[in-house]
Amino acid sequence: AQSVAQPEDQVNVAEGNPLTVKCTYSVSGNPYLFWYVQYPNRGLQFLLKYITGDNLVKGSYGFEAEFNKSQTSFHLKKPSALVSDSALYFCAVRDLSGGYNKLIFGAGTRLAVHP
Amino acid sequence: EPEVTQTPSHQVTQMGQEVILRCVPISNHLYFYWYRQILGQKVEFLVSFYNNEISEKSEIFDDQFSVERPDGSNFTLKIRSTKLEDSAMYFCASSEGVLAASSDTQYFGPGTRLTVL
């Protein structure tokens, strides 16, 4: 079965420092991986996705993610964190087992960027 | 930029009552979804809908749940007889679905917080 794990409940970073939010996955076949961000009282906003091609994927708001097949990871990164990046981040994988539709989400990682 | 919209933002209901949650997907999208997030838990898939029929549903999506696209713009989730454990944030999403649906991006609405008393 497809699954995704986010090993950290919370990540604390000082503003201006690089940030990493970790995600590992378990899939059969090629993984289709996504990152979403949830701000308070808002829906899930799409950040970026990996389907195929370059292992480094660039997305919205200066975020990028590195796909690593050997480590089955898809960590979210940003070179310089902003206080406004503080939010809940979800990694997700497309479940191809029962169809091509549903996303399976990780538990989420709360990112806190301190001034 | 086109967005998925949902109404109401918050719905409070009594146990056993029927509720209808409404969504307006992005206009040229062909796939529609409902997910839910119980407080403090993961976002969970409920159902996907394509070409006026359910294409996939989860174990959660039992006979108490139904979905409908009553017109060209709305997509609804109905819970016939709500239970306390149905209290959650319900998210609607849509994706283009033109080519390879597996690589499509799903765009989410802001959610409806359902509280069952």
Adjacency order of strands within the sheet including B19-24? B5-7, B19-24, B75-79, B65-68
Average pLDDT over residues B64-92: 95
Place of tokens 């709500």: B82
3 state SS for chain B: CCCCEEECCEEEECCCCCEEEEEECCCCCCEEEEEEECCCCCEEEEEEEECCEEEEECCCCCCCEEEECCCCCCEEEEECCCCHHHCEEEEEEEECCCCCHHHCCCEECCCEEEEEC
pLDDT over threshold 70, residue B102: no
Average pLDDT over residues B6-15: 96
pLDDT tens, residue by residue, B20-32: 999 999 998 989 9
pLDDT over threshold 90, residue B93: yes
pLDDT tens, residue by residue, B58-76: 999 999 999 999 887 899 9
Chain A contact for B97 (CB, 8 A cutoff): no
Query: Which pLDDT does position B26 carry in this prediction?
Result: 94
Q: How many CB atoms lie within 10 A of CB B79?
A: 20
Chain A contact for B33 (CB, 8 A cutoff): yes
B46: closest chain A residue by CA: A102
Query: Which pLDDT does position B98 carry in this prediction?
Result: 62
B86 Cα to chain A: minimum distance (Å): 19
pLDDT tens, residue by residue, A94-109: 877 666 678 999 999 9
Q: For chain B, what is the mean pLDDT?
A: 92
Query: Which pLDDT does position B101 carry in this prediction?
Result: 60
Average pLDDT over residues B39-56: 91
Q: Which residues pair with B11 in a beta bridge?
A: B114
> Distances in Å between the alpha carbon of A74 and those of A33, A48, A65, B45?
8, 11, 6, 21
Query: Which of B6, B45, B112 has the highest number of chain A CBs within 10 A, making it the mutation to test binding with A?
Result: B45
Chain A contact for B90 (CB, 8 A cutoff): no
pLDDT tens, residue by residue, A11-63: 999 999 999 999 999 988 888 999 999 988 778 999 999 988 889 999 999 99
Closest CB from A36, A45, A101 relative to B101: A101
- Interchain contact, A36 vs B108, CB within 8 Å: yes
Query: Which pLDDT does position A104 carry in this prediction?
Result: 93
Lowest mean pLDDT among A26-40, A64-78, B94-108: B94-108
A45 Cα to chain B: minimum distance (Å): 7
Query: Which pLDDT does position B71 carry in this prediction?
Result: 87
pLDDT over threshold 70, residue A78: yes
